[in-house]
Amino acid sequence: MFDRVFVNAVDADGNPLNLAVREGRFAAIGPERPAIGGAEVVDLAGHLVLPGFVDGHIHLDKSFVGDRWRPHRHVTSLRERLAIEKQELASAGPIVERADALIRQAASFGTIAMRSHVDVDATTGLTNLHAVMEAREKWRGVVDIELVAFPQAGVVSCPGTAEVLDAAAREGAQVVGGIDPTTLDGDADGQLDIVFGIAEKRGVKIDIHLHEPEQQGIDQLHRIASRTRAAGLNGRVSVSHAYGLGDVAPEVVDRIAAALAEAGVSIMTNAPGDRAFPPILQLRAAGVRVFTGNDNIQDAWWPYGNGDMLQRAMLVGYRSGFYTDEELGVALHMATEAGAAVLGKSGYGLKVGNEATFVVVKAPNAAAAVAAVPADRAIVRSGQFWGESSRVQFKVTAAGVGSAG
């Protein structure tokens, strides 16, 4: 009846969980051990089973993972940072190889889907996008990768970028990006006209990097929320970082949170280490979808990160003062379900009929996994153990052996 049965696991709450697989899909999931029949039996030794992780914000074209270590250099301006980045990347290996190395590393931690921003501008055109598309192709069916055409150097202030953004959307970027419309472009409506225009024309989603602080950031969010409502893009617009939400008083957050929830604008935060960031629980309470991602990983912007979304969930919780199991569960939700919803990933999660893909973590429940970030894991894809790096060994009983029923 089943090809393989994974027994003796626990679910997010620490309750018994057994998973039966047929033809690579979940055929039964529940607390009771299913009828074994002629199936192969894998004893998961009481470990936790989680759905695969979703990295909602990564920059696959920037990372030096897979290349040599490059010490971070302090700068005094964004222009200087961009110049250093260009210089460092010019001497690094090809994007397709570095992107491949980072996807592999993320996958080894249990990531099964990601949204990658990719730099596009009038100078580089679609070079980076094409390279990341090539890396993405290698991972088709293993890691779902959604691509954002990201105008790192600005839109209005960087002539020719609007056309490149449009070309990127035409060539397969599923999301059009934006960045700091007021502080970088000095023309909020100018940038948003272009970004929303492309989204409507090409039927793509939107994800805007917003580092603008305090009330300036809040004003921008209100602008984005009204344009989203006006364009009927509910559920298709995200704002990444939205630092301003961490800078203002709770009652200001309440007002903008209501507007974001009504418009269906999602917020992405990576929980930065040394500056304020959005109050996650307050946004969620208002009905805003909040998701997370690793953002920069070992690149010219900063040295941190390793691609592990469980470490990211821990950092989200650590920075947010999440202590209870429920709060730790919110951090995990941001790295799983919420990200999957933003990406529109179909067939996601531990449900009968879905692809039998999951992560086994040596932890007694989800809260413990987020708090301690155990390295001991195994990845199962379509019912099969995946990768060289399974750090846990399990007892496997061959099909039909010792199976009484």
**Chain residues that interact with a copy of itself, rule: CB under 8 A:** 14, 68-69, 71-74, 273-274, 298, 302-306, 311, 314-315, 317-321, 323-325, 328, 364-365, 367-368, 371-375, 391
| Residue-wise DSSP of 267-303 | EE----SSS----HHHHHHTT--EE---B--SSSS-S
Nearest approach in angstroms of CB 272 to a copy of itself is 9
| Identity of the residue, 71 or 232, whose beta carbon is nearer to a copy of itself in the bound complex | 71
| Identity of the residue, 227 or 312, whose beta carbon is nearer to a copy of itself in the bound complex | 312
Give the E-state strand segments of 120-271 in sequence order: 144-150, 175-179, 205-210, 237-241, 265-268
| Identity of the residue, 207 or 308, whose beta carbon is nearer to a copy of itself in the bound complex | 308
| Identity of the residue, 153 or 310, whose beta carbon is nearer to a copy of itself in the bound complex | 310
Residue type, 154: G
DSSP β-bridge partners for residue 103 = none
What single DSSP character describes residue 89?
H
DSSP β-bridge partners for residue 114 = 55, 145
| Residue-wise DSSP of 295-347 | B--SSSS-S---S-HHHHHHHHHHHHT--SHHHHHHHHHHTTHHHHHHHT-TT
Nearest approach in angstroms of CB 108 to a copy of itself is 11
Nearest approach in angstroms of CB 179 to a copy of itself is 21
| Identity of the residue, 94 or 364, whose beta carbon is nearer to a copy of itself in the bound complex | 364
Nearest approach in angstroms of CB 140 to a copy of itself is 27
DSSP β-bridge partners for residue 150 = 119
| Identity of the residue, 35 or 375, whose beta carbon is nearer to a copy of itself in the bound complex | 375
Residue 310 phi, psi (nearest 5): -75, -35
DSSP β-bridge partners for residue 385 = 380
Nearest approach in angstroms of CB 101 to a copy of itself is 13
What single DSSP character describes residue 37?
T
Nearest approach in angstroms of CB 318 to a copy of itself is 4
